[in-house]
Amino acid sequence: MPVEPDNGAASRAAAARILDAVLHQGRSLKAEFASQLLQLADPRDRALVEAAVLAVLREHGRYADALNGWMTRPPGKRDGLLRVLLYIGFAQLDVMKLPAHAAVAATVDAARRLKYAHQAGLVNAILRRALREPLPARRADAAWPRWLAERVRKDWPQQAEAIFAASAMPPPMWLRINRQKTSRHAYAEKLQMAGIEHRLLDGLADAVHLPEPVPVDALPGFAGGEVSVQDGSAQRLVDALPLQAEARVLDACAAPGGKAAHLAERYPAARLLALDVDARRVRRMQETFARTGLAVETRAADATATASWWDGELFAAIIIDAPCSATGVVRRQPDILLHRREDDIPRLVALQAQLLDALWPLLAPGGVLLYATCSILSAENAGQIAVFLARTTDARLLPLDARFGRDTGYGHQRLPGEDDMDGFFYARLEKVQP
């Protein structure tokens, strides 16, 4: 049977391929988006695919419960494409609130495109049942592996349910103004002219908050480097690091380059070195710096192997935005919960400690090391800093204020959704003068 070419079936089929790769084959969501979205010419189709995929990743536990309750033999892993296509149908009706007739018709036609023509009637029947009967109730921690949910509850017993709820919500879009090219108020006027809803928040000097995300190519001045996308919690990091004009600064785990770019925009005379162990990510950083018109030295190197890249000159400031569990950014990257394993945590904690110990000797006396993660786990954050201070006699913790979140005693923690930002941890350490 021929498929109607313009009813949205192609976008539903693309979403199913992405979800099958991520849910059933352990593939990276970011990589699958990059591959599949290129095949869709219309930005509206790309936006629909992204919205559908993210909705399913946040709700797939509920949708699996629905299929298990409504079908004697739900599609298994062998028919993963059919299973995720049904999830996509649920998401359109449940989360995205698309017109029911169009959503069902496009999803049924997508089944035919995916070579499930014999199951098109089944897809139609299941989705029409979803119109008549309620899907299972939402449980905030449903997408979290049990071991990780228990860890969050142990670390944050009073806040755990709010963390799970915030992590299941679609995030806003945060922009960072390049103050070397424009001002925040001037850029806000451009957004106003473009009809893009936005607001300016006190206390974040370079930030603009967009309640509803838009494609970057719809942002005025994006191609010319006037603005970049960066969450407010990551922008806050630069506020913790006041610098002298020509200070030498190391960003040790710099990719994708947002924090290094922000530093260079705020301190254009600073001598900034941005390292990352992955050469491909370094190339993407270089593209970011070229777009924003910033002169930042970059190098592909293992930050812990200092003998291979350090020239012997001490740094006035060092940033370690350390590899971590990324449990503070689940709302942006819900596939984190699919890929994270329990034995990842001790491995990450060991790597973070290795970075701290390797880079501390490179900091000048009186200099500041800023340790940060996008994690909410104590072992990676307050626990990591407590142990480092205990073994490092010339390190002392410097205070931060309430803008950085709640004081843990060993740094400040922002939890997901607080002030509509991502979860983030900050600890500012000074090397005591001899």
pLDDT the model gives residue 36: 87
3-state secondary structure of 428: strand
Is 208 a residue whose pLDDT tops 90? Answer: yes
Is 335 a residue whose pLDDT tops 60? Answer: yes
Is 201 a residue whose pLDDT tops 70? Answer: yes
Q: Rounded to whole angstroms, how far apart are CA atoms 91 and 63?
A: 9
Q: Is the pTM of this model over 0.85?
A: yes
3-state secondary structure of 12: helix
For 89-126, give one letter per residue: b (16+ CB within 10 A) or e. Answer: bbbbbbbeebeeeebbbbbbbbbbbbebeebbebbbeb
> Would you state the structure tokens that stand for residue 127, as one six-digit string?
């989705």
Condensed to tens digits (0 to 9), the pLDDT of residues 119-166 reads 999 999 999 999 999 999 888 888 899 999 999 999 999 999 999 999
Element (H, E) at 250: strand 248-251
Is 337 a residue whose pLDDT tops 60? Answer: yes
pLDDT the model gives residue 351: 98
> Would you state the structure tokens that stand for residue 421, as one six-digit string?
């930002």
Average predicted confidence (pLDDT) for the chain: 94
| Domain ranges across the chain | 9-132, 173-229, 232-431
Q: Rounded to whole angstroms, how far apart are CA atoms 112 and 16?
A: 12
> Would you state the structure tokens that stand for residue 313, as one six-digit string?
């000159």
Condensed to tens digits (0 to 9), the pLDDT of residues 87-98 reads 999 999 999 999
Q: Rounded to whole angstroms, how far apart are CA atoms 400 and 2?
A: 63
Nearest alpha carbon to residue 126 among 82, 166, 156, 191: 82
Whether 156 contacts 136, CB under 8 Å: no
The class (CATH top level) of 232-431 is: alpha beta
CATH number 1.10.940.10 is the correct assignment for the domain at 9-132? yes
Region of residue 84 (phi > 0: left; psi between -120 and 50: alpha; otherwise: beta): alpha
For 347-367, give one letter per residue: b (16+ CB within 10 A) or e. Answer: ebbebbeebbebbbebbbeeb
Please, which residues have CB within 8 angstroms of residue 334's CB and are 6 or more apart in sequence? Answer: 29, 54, 57, 58, 143
Whether 319 contacts 372, CB under 8 Å: yes
Say whether 232-431 and 173-229 share the same fold: no
pLDDT the model gives residue 141: 87
Mean pLDDT, to the nearest integer, of 252-265? 95
E strand map for 265-414 = 271-276, 297-300, 315-321, 363-373, 395-398, 406-407, 412-414
Is 40 a residue whose pLDDT tops 80? Answer: yes
pLDDT the model gives residue 6: 55
Q: Give the β-pairing of 248-251 and 271-276.
A: parallel
Residues noted as catalytic = 374
Element (H, E) at 13: helix 9-25
Counting every residue, how long is the chain?
434
Half-sphere exposure of 341 (CA within 13 A, CB side): 4
Other Cβ atoms within 10 Å of 410 Cβ, number: 20
Percent of the chain surpassing pLDDT 90: 89
The CATH-assigned architecture of domain 173-229 is 2-Layer Sandwich (3.30)
